[in-house]
Amino acid sequence: MKVTRLTGSIKTKVNLPGSKSESNRVLIIEALAESKVIPIANLSEAKDTKVLKCILNEDKEQSIVNVGHAGTAMRFLTAYYASKRNVNITLTGSKRMESRPIKLLVSALNKLGANIQYLKKEEYPPILIIGSQLQGGELEINSSVSSQYVSALLMIAPTLSNGLLLKLKGEVVSKPYIEMTLDLMSYFGIKVISQNNKYKILPQPYVFKPITIEADWSAASYWFEVAALSNSCNIQLIGLNKRSRQGDQNVMSLFSKLGVTTKWVGNNLVLTKRSSFILDRNNSYHFYLEETPDLAQTLICTCAGLGLEATFTGLSTLKIKETDRLSALKNELSKFGVELLIKSSSEAYLSGMQLIKCPVNSIETYEDHRMAMSFAPLALLVGELSISNPEVVKKSYPYFWNDLASVFDIEI
């Protein structure tokens, strides 16, 4: 796919997709509540959500369930099937999924009485799950690897015979996603006692009721990048919630450092570029992203485009995403003459090199939707950019290229 810059000020209005993170949690809760009659408004049309919904709707007791690239579905379904009586499920996924570890979650569930076995490589999918009524009890889990493990356990907790006392140890990564899970559980009638990273949940029923899924702040971040890289813009984003459950709403604060101004006009969020904004090239910028790792690629590409010296920390979860995201960023930014120095598994550094026009035919996306969407706005600076495997955006933002066509020339 070829993305070409259009001339003039950027002005557009975008209907953002429903939140994938919120949608997937609501679908699991709906299944746990055994409620199939109450509609979910604005459910995400992301491929990951469609995969999860299809699997849950089939509701088979014996089957091979393939989640493809959907990491959230893999983690959430592992806990869901482990707690479901009379199921015998082989849970598998793509080749990349088979290299994404699941040991912490499987070990935690087995301690609660689950019967989960590895079918190929120890600690990785595919796995065999023989479901049963889990007794629950007290459990400690390392929360420094993935918040999805914690969310998966929390959501099934009310269905366990003895409930669950879950203790988190280590640094808690992506905590806003855990808070989103707890907030949704509360919305559907679950009482949680929480204190100092301990969560006590007694046996109790979910009460499913109508809900409207918020627009996705992660999807909004690419429009913040467009705004930051523009000379002037007026971008209206539709459907976002001022009091959002999503941690990625912090994109407003992060991009304010890069000259993007936000203003609520009714239910729309309007992005503009501050005309008086001047980047401080004498100082290094710092972005701490442990709570919002899905914004890392967007911010790193933006800072690379602006030629900023910048340090990014809190990146420890990027290695086990759709691809090793830091390595992928390093490879693709080098095509523009920009060096991303990976200082550790959780820290990266841009030295402030100026972006040059990419002489390579295309940007590789590594089967990662966020690689495609983070690099596309750089066409504002280099004039034209080719993106390989552009359909990867279907994972979270299916209509991204259609929306982007309002400000770029998109040639498939």
DSSP string, 364-390: --TT-HHHHHHHGGGHHHHSEEEBSSG
Q: What is the rounded CA–CA span in Å between residue 140 and residue 401? A: 43
CA distance 297 to 222: 10
How many angstroms separate the CA atoms of 234 and 13, rounded? 8
**Residue 49 is encoded by which pair of tokens?**
């959500």
CA distance 378 to 230: 10
3-state secondary structure of 96: coil
Q: Are 302 and 258 in contact (CB under 8 A)?
A: yes
Contact 222, 3 (CB under 8 A): no
Burial bucket for residue 181 (CB in 10 Å: 0-12, 13-18, 19+): buried
- Give dist(CA 387, CA 371) in Å, integer: 9
**Positive or negative: CA dihedral 375, 377, 383, 386:** positive
Per DSSP, the three-state class of 154 is helix
Residues classed as catalytic: 294
d(CA 398, CA 412): 15
Looking at residue 184, its amino acid is: L
* Residues 338, 355 contacting (CB under 8 angstroms): yes
DSSP letter string, 247-297: GGGGHHHHHHTTTEEEEEETTEEEEEE-TT----TTS-EEEE-TT-GGGHH
Nearest to 194 by CA among 175, 171, 213: 175
The residues pairing with 40 across neighbouring beta strands, listed in sequence order, are: 211
Please state, as a whole number, how many other Cβ atoms lie within 10 Å of the Cβ of residue 401.
Answer: 20
